[in-house]
Amino acid sequence: MLVKKSIDRIVHYFLYPSSQYKQNRITLWLRELTAALFNLLSCLIIFFAGILDTIKNGFAWPYGFLYQKNGIPFYHVFYSLLSSIVGGLISVTGHMIHWMGIVIRLLDMGRPVNESEKEIIVSVFHQSVNPEIIRIIPLPFWNKHFFVLHNYIFTPSNVTSISSALLIHEVVHIWQFRQEGCSYIFNALAAQIRYGIKNTSGNAYDWKAELKRGKIIWQDFNKEAAAQFIEDVWKEGASCIYSNKGDKTITEAGNGKFFQMINLSVTGIQHELPIMISKSNLQDYTALAMQAVKKIRSTKY
């Protein structure tokens, strides 16, 4: 969306001023205030665009009356409308609270991702997420969780660095937000409420449970399971040599090796291939991982 891109550029301008810009606490505060305000505006646009889109895709007015479109069941349309509205309200309220927090100088715009984090993000997402617009914002003591609103990754107060695997998980949420708008928040929360967040099988983060529920395409997973899958590919994906007999030998695993191997395969000089074997059940999920990465990288920021 062109408007959204322009707003991103304005936010970027206020967050990363040219070096000759006179810096002091007041100008920094004003710049952060303006950047946060434009992010709020962008969130409002996504909110309304999401609702209009759901209505446009769900209903038609062929004879001057409201009809369901393409035989989509009413509860589907209702659910996506509900998720756009509730997700949008949560997101807009979150942005407003954050903005007011900056006004009273209780909160700020946190920090941008550093160079190594940027490298990690690009190695997975390529052109689909712009790392420059991401801000990592620690919240005061009352927050114990990591969560994403739009371009912000909120963290507990005492967190100074994020592990690469967790960073990838949170950036998947940023990608989901950019693809699906505010409804992502409702869908992620609904999955947490429905399946639980406890460390038991079948919880919201358990992507193998999503497969058992009949969801075989990555983007059909609930938002938490989808993010967890990419996180697990980062942690468990590997490089592998296949023998002529078809035997597999894992050469290096973890730390984004899977994504590194896909990136290498583009150059054509490849003796090894990426592989995703789950540590918990030793099953091969390479095809699913390839499908997910292809989907993510098919979009452009």
- Comparing CB distances to Zn ion, the nearer of 102 and 289 is 289
- Comparing CB distances to Zn ion, the nearer of 113 and 153 is 153
CB of 214 to Zn ion, least distance (A): 22
- Comparing CB distances to Zn ion, the nearer of 32 and 170 is 170
- What whole-number distance in Å separates Cα of residue 32 and Cα of residue 177? 22
Q: Is 210 helix (H, G, I), strand (E, B) or coil?
A: helix
- What whole-number distance in Å separates Cα of residue 209 and Cα of residue 204? 9
Query: With CB under 5 A as the contact rule, which of the stretches 14-22, 34-42, 118-126, 217-225 interacts with Zn ion?
Result: 217-225
- What whole-number distance in Å separates Cα of residue 161 and Cα of residue 138? 10
CB of 173 to Zn ion, least distance (A): 6
209 binds Zn ion (CB under 5 A): no
Closest CA to 79 of 101, 42, 100, 54: 54
Instruction: Give the burial string for 7-37 (b: 16+ CB within 10 Å, else e).
Output: bbebbeebbeeeeeeeeeeeeeeebbbbbbb
- Residue 135 has φ and ψ, to the nearest 5°, of -125, 135
Q: Could you tell me the strand order of the sheet in which 238-242 lies?
A: 248-253, 238-242, 273-275
Residue from 139, 189, 227, 293 that binds Zn ion (CB under 5 A)? Answer: 227
Binding mask 87-126 for Zn ion (x = CB under 5 A): ----------------------------------------
DSSP 107-140: ----EE--HHHHHHHHHHHTTSS-GGG-EEEE--
Angle ∠(223,216,297) on CA atoms, nearest 5: 60
CB of 188 to Zn ion, least distance (A): 6
Q: For residues 157 and 137, is the Cβ–Cβ distance under 8 A?
A: no
CB of 161 to Zn ion, least distance (A): 18
Binding mask 167-206 for Zn ion (x = CB under 5 A): ----------------------------------------
Closest CA to 182 of 91, 99, 98: 91
Of all residues in the shown chain, the one whose CB is closest to Zn ion is 227
CB of 299 to Zn ion, least distance (A): 19
CB of 171 to Zn ion, least distance (A): 10
- Comparing CB distances to Zn ion, the nearer of 224 and 232 is 224
- Residue 248 has φ and ψ, to the nearest 5°, of -110, 135
Count of residues in contact with Zn ion, rule CB under 5 A? 2
Query: With CB under 5 A as the contact rule, which of the stretches 107-115, 116-124, 222-230, 249-257 interacts with Zn ion?
Result: 222-230
Query: With CB under 5 A as the contact rule, which of the stretches 44-52, 209-217, 223-231, 238-246 interacts with Zn ion?
Result: 223-231
By CB under 5 A, name the binding residues for Zn ion: 224, 227
